[in-house]
Amino acid sequence: MIVTLTANPSLDRTIGLTGPLVRGAVHRAATTAVDPGGKGINVARVLHGAGLPVLAVLPADVGDPLLAELDERGIPYRAVAASGPVRVNTTIAEPDGTTTKLNTPGAACPAGTLDTLRHTLLDHADGAAWTVLSGSLPPGVPDDFYADLIGGLRGSGSRIAVDTSEAPLLALATRFPESAPDLIKPNTDELAQLTGTDPSALENAAATGDIDPAVSAGRALVEHGVAAVLITLGAAGAVLVTADGAWRASAPPITARSTVGAGDSSLAGYLVAERDGAGPADRLRHAVAYGSAAVSLPGTGLPGPGDADPTAVTVTAVNPVTPSPRPLPHS
């Protein structure tokens, strides 16, 4: 079983346009779609589609439209009572794959709701293969919520994956190695936040084929207790860094239609391969295959095994990078 936590779930409404988005203009939608959203829910949807047993934990009231969408897709979940309706996020998708996202903050999460959410997660994570802590935090939740959860999960026997950003991510890093997860999945912006690196330098280097800065930053996280660092680099592919080595994967050629859910799909693809007993290189291969498949799908469509082609992804081992990684700025 893989348990995912989505503390700030959403209903994702996608509007597909027939042409480029023009600010201030009137547009007629070519397509519309509504999907259950939030990063942890996205991961659960991909894992469920791949046939893995999964449980999504989230705050939502009985009768909330989000739960109806999960029921319709057959996604198992445990919902705790919330303080208001689930937020609605809007994605505007242009024909060339450009996506514009309008995300609302979500309902406040008072202490009582937060305690129930925490206990529900810990109960179901006991004995789970993985627990995934993913996405933003709703208003009223302390930035160190994920760091505290990792402490509570240590005795559960479950490995822990984290995919978040900004204040919750920095609060997590402040408490490394105590709060270091088994797997963390930063993009270049998030990796820069964690390591004090220039995000544009990381991105520009990766775009030209130089992944040494990303690998060096990943090694810094490993030195601070993170077991595996899965770094997504957009069109440049991804990098995986562990204590045993580093690998890079090149993304296959695709026609980009939407970047929504690509990172979540990459994380899910990694877990799919891990649950099949794959080694690091093949885990990375599946991560990039699933992430690329998500980009090739419209709106908030998420890939199934039939959409992802790991054989199209090239993975190579990376030689050690010198000098040694510098300390994290948050240590």
Q: How much of the chain, in percent, has pLDDT values that exceed 70?
A: 96
DSSP conformational letter for 199: H
More confident residue, 47 or 83: 47
- The reply to whether 212 belongs to the active site is no
What angle in degrees, to the nearest 10, is found between the helix axes of 280-295 and 262-275?
150
The DSSP element (H or E) to which 315 belongs, if any, is strand 314-318
What pLDDT was estimated at residue 69? 96
Sheet hosting strand 10-17, strand order edge to edge: 29-37, 10-17, 87-93, 99-102
Residue 55 pLDDT level (bands cut at 50, 70, 90): very high
Contact 232, 263 (CB under 8 A): yes
What band does 192 get if pLDDT is binned at 50, 70 and 90?
A: very high
Convert the pLDDT of each residue in 156-167 to its tens digit: 999 999 999 999
pLDDT at residue 79 is higher than 70: yes
Mean pLDDT rounded to a whole number for the chain: 92
What would the mean pLDDT of 307-317 be, rounded to a whole number?
A: 94
Complete DSSP assignment for 222-242: HHTT-SEEEEE-GGG-EEEEE
Q: From CA 296, how far away is CA 259, in angstroms rounded?
A: 8
Query: What is the CB-side half-sphere exposure of residue 122 using CA atoms within 13 A?
Result: 15
pLDDT digits (tens, 9 = 90+) for 20-50: 999 999 998 998 889 999 999 999 999 999 9
| pLDDT value of residue 129 | 97
Set 64, 144, 264, 307: catalytic member: 264
In terms of pLDDT, which residue wins out, 322 or 94?
A: 94
Ordered by where they begin, the domains of the chain are 2-21+32-318 (3.40.1190.20)
Percent of the chain with pLDDT over 90: 74
pLDDT at 169 over 60: yes
Q: Quick one: pLDDT band at residue 107, thresholds 50, 70, 90?
A: confident
Residue 95 burial (CB count, 10 A): 13
Confidence of residue 216 (pLDDT cuts 50, 70, 90): very high
- The reported pLDDT for the residue numbered 66 is 96
Question: For residue 323, what pLDDT is reported?
Answer: 46
pTM: 0.92
pLDDT at res. 327 = 67
95 pLDDT above the threshold of 60: yes
pLDDT at residue 321, as a whole number: 52
- pLDDT interval class at 251 (50, 70, 90): confident
